[in-house]
Amino acid sequence: MNVQGMTKIYANMVLKCLSNIGIRYNNLSELIEELRQFRAAE
């Protein structure tokens, strides 16, 4: 498997995740706030 192929697969996975997140979070600031809380909780 070449790097370009892996990059394409990775990019598709990220886009899929982002679109799934986008459905739940219409407001990006909500997502950022939640990520901050998640980081703080670690």
List, for residues 3-41, the tens digit of each pLDDT value. 889 999 998 898 888 777 766 666 777 778 888 988 888
Q: Please, what sign has the CA dihedral across residues 17, 22, 24, 27?
A: positive
Does residue 21 contact residue 31 with C-beta atoms inside 8 Å? Answer: yes
- pLDDT value, residue 30: 78
- pLDDT value, residue 20: 76
- pLDDT value, residue 2: 87
Region label for 2, one of left (φ > 0), alpha (ψ between -120 and 50) or beta (otherwise): beta
The predicted model scores a pTM of: 0.43
Residues 6+ away with beta carbon under 8 Å from 21? 31
Token pair 């899929």 in the structure block, residue: 16
